[in-house]
Structure 1
Amino acid sequence: MASVVFQHVVKKFGAFTAVSDLNLEVRDKKLLVLLGPSGCGKTTTMRMVAGLEEVTAGDIFIGSDRVNGVLPKYRDVAMVFQSYALYPHLSVADNIGYPLKIRKVPEDKRRRMIMEVARRVELDGLLDRLPKQLSGGQRQRVALARAIIRTPKVFLMDEPLSNLDAKLRVQMRAELKHLQHELQVTTIYVTHDQIEAMTLADRVAVMNKGVIEQLGTPREIYNDPRTLFVAGFIGSPPMNLIDGEVKDGVFTSPGGIRVDGLGSASVARAVLGVRPEDIHVIPAGGAKANIAAPIYSVELTGESTLVTVRAGAALLAVRADKNFAGDYDQIVQVGFSPERAFVFDRQSQERVDF
């Protein structure tokens, strides 16, 4: 297998820069997720590895080989796309074995390899079916099996689960994670879904406007966001972000929110960030509250209740106990510890440590 290394990689389409000075290592046998919104450059980055897009500047290495200018068929990578891209007139077995047929692998060896890979993805009882006779999850397994059978140096996966329903996505995430661990193949996985990124990745590269805003493990990205963009993009529901001012370690906002204990920081255009699970509804007579605000909505999610309150112009999400009961416009007291809050500079977009 092999690592994938980007050194000062730039990709331009005319005057538009899709990827800017990218420096990144995808470690051998690990799964790295390129995460970001549409147009951030993540798919372009992956396509440059595949050889489907030319590099404008910089170098890409697969293992010790510089692959700039190398034709896609000689790069030894396998791609799994958002669309299944199966041949409708071929059986499951023939779809899986097609890369081997192109390579002129003998039929008996091809049959053995098809059976082995099909068992791995639980398709061994469906080998004679056509794609139209399969469910969406089964079709995606065929596409995965076709990639696996090539035993490539690198897997490239471009939003492979986005066409599946919610239940199948959860199931396929678990299967993908297990397969990657079992196969030990270096994998680059592209998605805009931060839940997929958090559950699948060894490391996550959060991209925005062609640059990597933060690179780290899912836990690091979630617990230690370095920029305002990362803080707002990671999390479901996302982090609450409140505009205001920090003066001598005290945050205040037009919505009447006040948070003490932020060190000695002073930021004229500040954004206070706090995750919904770190805010608590405080019962009457309880600890001091940061906010007293009316309930805007109450949503039972099963394991908890998501309470949204309106503080001035801001809507704040609070993850409360599953048995919480409250009425619209009821005033509730909510609070959080300053140790669980983040402060960002609105102008620089960087986190302010205190």
Structure 2
Amino acid sequence: MTSVTFQGVVKKFGEFIAVNDLNLEVRDKEFLVLLGPSGCGKTTTMRMVAGLEEVSAGDIFIGGDRVNDVLPKYRDVAMVFQSYALYPHFSVADNIGYPLKIRKVPEEKRRQMVMEVARRVELDRLLDRLPKELSGGQRQRVALARAIIRTPKVFLMDEPLSNLDAKLRVQMRAELKHLQHELQVTTIYVTHDQIEAMTLAHRVAVMSRGVIEQLGTPKEIYNNPRTLFVAGFIGSPPMNLIDGEVSDGAFTSAGGIKIGGLGHSNVADAVLGVRPEDAHLLPGGSGKANVTAPIYSVELTGESTLVTVRAGDSLFTLRADKSFVGDFDQMVNVSFAPERVFLFDRKSQNRVDF
């Protein structure tokens, strides 16, 4: 079994704390995604596993062995970088087989292993080409193949899809997910893209300012965000977050949004959270609306229409049917189901249960 365990791990750069008291176990054969904005500590965390950054305090274990003082080359991890990091004067075959060459694997065996891995990532017809003759997606597959051929204990992937165009990212996500399932290797994947996290991960660790805000399956994090940061970071389009106050279980905002049924909560500095798919347009004249406000914009995405409404100084987005037709400044009625909204305390940043 190859788990990766962090026990009270801290990383400092001078006085700056990049990672603070990290306690986390990446399970054997798990695909765990470290998700967060730039500067949250996710890449630093992964680099400590690889041995490219020293641990300031705490311990890291790989497969039960403490690796704080183990050199990177002895940790048996394979890293895939955002920049591909291919040797430009090496062919595809030589790039893939280079880790085996360093280990002095016999040439014939090396050739067989390269061909086997190349077939797995659909590069077997491109083995004689140089990196400059490949597309971005093909280069990324070369980098993946070079990592796979080592059969390491742990894969470390640092935003490997961020340099690809939108269509290739979708294709490579599917390939990555299938490969990890097929290879059954413990994987730590770093990204700021929450769509990648939601589609790839067994579990997601959402990071902010060097700490994990929430750890759970993609479904858990999406359906039950514990903090204001997680609520606003997960989802595309993101959750609507509307400032207001709650008195005796009724939320009101300066923009005229009103919703009751929030238990007996009282929060002076409250934030109401509602996902676009949980806000609904009502027929004109309906008395059940939580707000009546003008349309700010309409965006057809194909499978649905995103309607953004302005209520006072607040903008919020709802997901309507793809057949919806609306115009700027058209007044619409919008309702929220109380059981599908979230309530947060702006001061503590934590969710308020009701």
Shorter-chain TM range is: over 0.9
| Structure 1: distance between partners of 2:225 and 2:18 | 23
In the alignment, structure 1 residue 229 sits paired with structure 2 residue 229 = yes
Matching of residue 316 in structure 1 with residue 316 in structure 2: yes
What is aligned with 2:273? Answer: 273
Secondary structure (helix, strand or coil) at the match of 1:142 reads helix
Look up the SS of the partner of 2:163 in the other structure. coil
Q: Distance in 1 between matches of 2:230 and 2:21?
A: 19
The structural deviation recorded for 1:157 is 0.1
Please state how far the C-alpha of 1:64 moved relative to its aligned partner.
1.1
Aligned length: 354
Which SS does the other structure have where 1:351 is aligned? Answer: coil
Equivalent residue letter for 2:311: A
Query: 1:247 maps to what in 2?
Result: 247
- Structure 1's unaligned 5+ residue stretches are none
- Once residues 285 and 306 of structure 1 are traced to their aligned partners in structure 2, the CA distance between those partners, rounded to angstroms, is 22
Q: How far apart are residue 82 of structure 1 and its match?
A: 0.2
Aligned to 2:133: 133
CA distance in 2, matches of 1:88, 1:242: 51
Structure 2: unaligned runs, 5 residues or longer? none
The answer for the alignment partner of 1:258 in structure 2 is 258
Q: Moved runs in structure 1, 4+ residues, more than 3 A?
A: none
- TM-score (structure 2 length as normaliser): 0.99
* C-alpha separation in 2, matches of 1:30 and 1:183: 11
Cα offset, 1:55, TM superposition: 0.2
Question: 1:32-86 CA deviation, whole Å, 9 max, x = no partner?
Answer: 0000000000000000000000000000000110000110000000000000111
1:113-262 aligned within 5 A = 113-262=113-262
Can you list the C-alpha shifts for 1:225-255, whole angstroms capped at 9, x where unaligned? 0000000000011000000000110000100
Please state how far the C-alpha of 1:287 moved relative to its aligned partner: 5.9
Deviation, 1:284, is 2.0
Deviations 1:311-343 (A, max 9, x none): 010001010000100110010001110100000
Inter-partner Cα distance in structure 2 for 1:229 and 1:89: 45
Q: Which amino acid counterpart does residue 38 of structure 1 have in structure 2?
A: S
In structure 2, distance between residues paired with 1:177 and 1:283? 43
Amino-acid identity (%):
84
* 3-state secondary structure, aligned to 1:100: helix
- Aligned-partner SS, 2:95: helix
Q: Is the 8 A contact 2:78 2:150 kept in 1?
A: yes
Contact 2:136–2:164 (CA under 8 A) maintained in structure 1: yes
Tell whether 2:18 aligns with 1:35: no
Range 4-13 or range 283-292, more displaced: 283-292
Structure 2 match to 1:19: 19
When residues 287 and 100 of structure 1 are mapped into structure 2, their CA distance, relative to the original with a 3 A threshold, is: farther
C-alpha RMSD of matched pairs (Å): 0.7
Equivalent residue number for residue 62 of structure 1:
62
C-alpha distance in structure 2 between counterparts of 1:289 and 1:236, whole Å: 24
Question: Matches of 1:206 and 1:269 in 2, distance apart?
Answer: 24
Cα 1:287–1:62 shift into 2, 3 Å: farther
Deviations 1:159-180 (A, max 9, x none): 0000000000000000000000
- Report the CA distance between 1:285 and its aligned residue: 4.5
Q: Determine the structure 1 residue equivalent to 2:339.
A: 339
Letter paired with 2:296: Y
In 2, the alpha carbon distance for the partners of 1:73 and 1:193 equals 29
Residues in 2 aligned to 1:183 and 1:200: alpha-carbon distance in whole angstroms: 15
Segment of structure 1 superposing worse, 206-215 or 284-293: 284-293
Shift of 1:286: 4.2
SS of the residue 1:68 aligns to: coil
Equivalence for 1:94: 94
CA contact (8 A) 2:286 2:333 kept: no
* Structure 2 CA distance for aligned equivalents of residues 63 and 275 of structure 1: 40
Give the structure 2 partner of residue 10 of structure 1: 10
For 2:118, what is the secondary structure of its paired residue? Answer: helix
